[in-house]
Amino acid sequence: MAQQAMTVRLDSQMKTQFDSLCEQFGMSANTAINIFVNAVVRTQSIPFSIGISGKKDIVRENAIKAIESMQKSAEESGASEMTLEEINEEIRLAREERKKRLLTEVM
């Protein structure tokens, strides 16, 4: 496979630290960048989390609270004992009701 050069600009101190770490890992900076690029292409994602510090935890906590609330609601209403067919029928009826509401709003 043909290779192509890529130029990356880094802060000089960051480059020095990166080169030193790569050397400690037993590889060149070029090899490390190639590993990163291969991981991105293979997984179709960045192989580490990118986000605002603390925000990920808040989103996770809110998601857990929402799931726990839905579980409690399902237990209280008896929905946790519904069969898959009953659940699908509830969804179908809710979609029909939504469709009717949308149609009446348009008219």
pLDDT of residue 68: 82
Domain boundaries, the chain: 12-43, 55-106
Q: Is residue 103 over pLDDT 70?
A: yes
Q: Give the per-residue pLDDT at 80.
A: 63
Instruction: Give the tens place of pLDDT for each residue, 47-94.
Output: 877 666 666 677 778 878 888 887 787 777 766 677 778 888 888 998
- For the stretch 15-48, pLDDT in tens is 999 999 999 999 999 999 999 999 999 988 888 7
DSSP collapsed to 3 states, 28-95: CHHHHHHHHHHHHHHHCCCCCCCCCCCHHHHHHHHHHHHHHHHHHHHHHHCHHHCCHHHHHHHHHHHH
Residue 4 carries which side chain, given as an amino acid letter? Q
What's the confidence (pLDDT) of residue 64? 81
